[in-house]
């Protein structure tokens, strides 16, 4: 969602235009509204986490399944290696790995081969929220996928919401919630 500033008056003096631009940039940065994701943001996620995965069953969306989950995040300056380990109800342990990478100068986040457009990066004193959108598939149907990633102190959440192209509202596909271990 683009951010627009209505023009109420025209600045004819070049120095006034530069001054106004600097004031606007300072205001947006001071309010934590810099929409670009940066390497420092990603580094905040590094470490070992413990929690759960809760997801909507693919056959019955109203049925929620909860699985204990471990997470370990490491990586370089502009990317992270995110390793999940969770136990299925059958007792089987599943391990998966993702690579998160900042692309397009912080306007996009690539998770493995899926690139999402970042619409929100909100930095507060002790928290970071990232909201990104991409087109993709869910349950073999074309869909708009929204990922919300929140880090606040020692808690961390990744939520995925889905809206099918065929219609309907967004629904929660899965939510990972973690505490730093």
Q: Is residue 91 part of a domain?
A: yes
Host domain of residue 129: 39-180
Q: Is residue 164 part of a domain?
A: yes
d(CA 151, CA 156) in angstroms, rounded, equals 5
Q: Is residue 144 part of a domain?
A: yes
State phi, psi for 115 to the nearest 5 degrees.
-100, 130
d(CA 150, CA 21) in angstroms, rounded, equals 30
Q: Is residue 26 part of a domain?
A: no
**The pLDDT value given to residue 141:** 95
d(CA 34, CA 31) in angstroms, rounded, equals 8
Instruction: List the chain pLDDT tens, one digit each, 181 residues.
Output: 444 433 333 445 455 444 444 343 443 444 445 679 998 888 889 999 999 999 988 887 778 899 999 999 999 878 999 999 999 888 999 999 999 999 999 999 999 999 999 999 999 988 999 999 999 999 999 999 999 999 998 999 999 999 999 999 999 999 999 999 9
CATH of the domain at 51: 2.40.128.20
Q: Is residue 20 part of a domain?
A: no
Closest CA to 149 of 55, 45, 70, 3: 45
**The pLDDT value given to residue 33:** 56
Asked whether the beta carbons of 116 and 132 are under 8 A apart, the reply is yes
Closest CA to 122 of 154, 144, 148: 148
The total of structural domains in the chain comes to 1
Q: Is residue 116 part of a domain?
A: yes
**The pLDDT value given to residue 108:** 96
**The pLDDT value given to residue 57:** 81
Q: Is residue 4 part of a domain?
A: no
**The pLDDT value given to residue 59:** 81
Q: Is residue 129 part of a domain?
A: yes
Asked whether the beta carbons of 128 and 120 are under 8 A apart, the reply is no
d(CA 139, CA 146) in angstroms, rounded, equals 15
Beta bridge mates, 155: 152, 179
């Amino acid at each position: 969602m683009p951010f627009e500033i209505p023009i109420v008056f025209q600045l004819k003096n070049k120095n006034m235009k530069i001054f106004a631009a600097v004031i606007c940039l300072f205001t947006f940065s001071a309010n934590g509204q810099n929409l670009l994701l940066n390497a420092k943001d990603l580094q905040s996620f590094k470490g070992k986490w413990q929690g759960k995965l809760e997801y909507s069953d693919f056959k019955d969306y109203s049925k929620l399944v909860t699985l204990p989950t471990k997470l370990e995040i490491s990586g370089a300056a502009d990317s992270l290696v995110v390793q999940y380990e969770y136990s299925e109800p059958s007792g089987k342990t599943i391990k998966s790995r993702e690579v998160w990478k900042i692309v397009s100068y912080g306007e996009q986040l690539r998770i493995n081969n899926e690139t999402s457009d970042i619409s929100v990066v909100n930095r507060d004193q002790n928290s970071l929220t990232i909201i990104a959108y991409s087109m993709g598939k869910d349950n073999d149907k074309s869909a708009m996928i929204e990922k919300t990633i929140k880090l606040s102190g020692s808690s961390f959440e990744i939520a995925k919401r889905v809206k099918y192209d065929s219609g309907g509202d967004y629904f929660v596909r899965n939510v990972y919630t973690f505490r730093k271990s």
